[in-house]
Amino acid sequence: MAAAATRATALCLIAAALLMLITAAAAASDTYTNHTVGGDAGWFFDSTTNKTSADYNAWSAKQTFNLGDYLIFNTNTNQSVIQTYNKTTFASCSIDDSLDTDTFVYDSGSDGLGNPTVVSVPLTIASTQYYFSAAGDGIHCRHGMAFTIKVATGLGLPPNLNQPPPPPYAPPPGPADEGPLPPVPVVTTRPNGGVRTGGGSSFLWLCLVVIVLL
Ligand SMILES: *[C@@H]1O[C@H](CO)[C@@H](O)[C@H](O)[C@H]1NC(C)=O
Ligand SMILES: *[C@@H]1O[C@H](CO)[C@@H](O)[C@H](O)[C@H]1NC(C)=O
Ligand SMILES: *[C@@H]1O[C@H](CO)[C@@H](O)[C@H](O)[C@H]1NC(C)=O
Ligand SMILES: *[C@@H]1O[C@H](CO)[C@@H](O)[C@H](O)[C@H]1NC(C)=O
């Protein structure tokens, strides 16, 4: 009896530890992340040496980017933040020929006045996307102010970043055709969100009962 109880207790403890690990892993992927570009070094270019404050490709290679995450550029207004989905624009280090549909200039670019600023860029499209500073006529970009990221779906967009198009216009039903209303489309914003491991405490209770019974 005592040996069986000890064995059951040991098994329960092992199972509980595993359960906690699984719950922790689920919790880790159940949040959105703000990625500070370049880490503590931020997004800076020194024009007197042509050097960046961080190796941005090395930095981005260590991150996992998902929809709903943000890139946070700690910088000043000597650098610009350009987001593009167009590889040609990225490779050119310039926005001179870029299209408004695939390239976005944050905070109107750089003014050369060096005022501290923080640029927050939400990741709203799951695809490869490119970032660079177009300041200095492309000198920044050609000397390393440029990186590529790949954004995965993750939890999907949170409601505040997800703006579904308005429902299509439907004429009000006339007297001759008063059928049932069409079903309202359901917008799912977080396909794998809301999956929580809630069985932890009930499992431990079951363990306790088993041990007491033995
Ligand atoms: C991430 O950055 C956005 C935009 O600046 C902000 O609204 C949000 O609160 C930040 N989230 C966290 C967890 O810091
Ligand atoms: C920085 O690089 C540009 C070319 O990209 C060059 O013209 C300029 O002289 C360089 N400046 C320094 C300080 O090395
Ligand atoms: C990418 O941008 C260039 C201009 O920089 C434009 O000519 C080209 O059509 C764009 N490519 C796509 C696939 O839209
Ligand atoms: C910003 O750029 C201007 C012009 O190149 C330079 O004189 C100034 O020192 C820079 N400021 C900062 C904070 O880097």
Q: Is the pLDDT of residue 188 over 50?
A: no
Evaluate: CB of 120 within 6 angstroms of ligand 1.
yes
Lowest mean pLDDT among 108-112, 139-143, 202-206: 202-206
Query: Whose CA is closest to 139, among 61, 77, 49?
Result: 49
pLDDT at 98: 96
Does 103 sit in the ligand 3 pocket, CB within 6 Å?
no
Q: What strands, in cross-sheet order, belong to the sheet with 65-66?
A: 65-66, 146-152, 128-132, 81-84, 103-106
Reported confidence tier of residue 164, pLDDT bands at 50, 70, 90: low
Distance, CA 106 to ligand 1 centroid (Å)?
A: 17
Report how far ligand 3's centroid is from the alpha carbon of 129 (Å): 14
Atom 1 (ligand 4) nearest CA: 114
**Average pLDDT value for the chain:** 79
For residue 63, the SS3 value is: coil
3-state secondary structure of 60: helix
Least confident residue range of 29-33, 83-87, 158-162, 175-179: 175-179
CA 46–ligand 4 middle distance (angstroms): 8
- Nearest one of 106, 55, 112 to 79, comparing CA atoms: 112
Q: Quick check: CB of 76 below 6 Å from ligand 4?
A: yes
The residues pairing with 191 across neighbouring beta strands, listed in sequence order, are none
Output the CA 153–ligand 2 centroid distance in Å. 40
From residue 84, alpha-carbon distances to 41, 127, 188 in Å are: 23, 11, 27
Task: Compute the half-sphere exposure of residue 184: CA atoms within 13 Å on the CB side of its CA.
Answer: 4
Average pLDDT over residues 134-143: 97
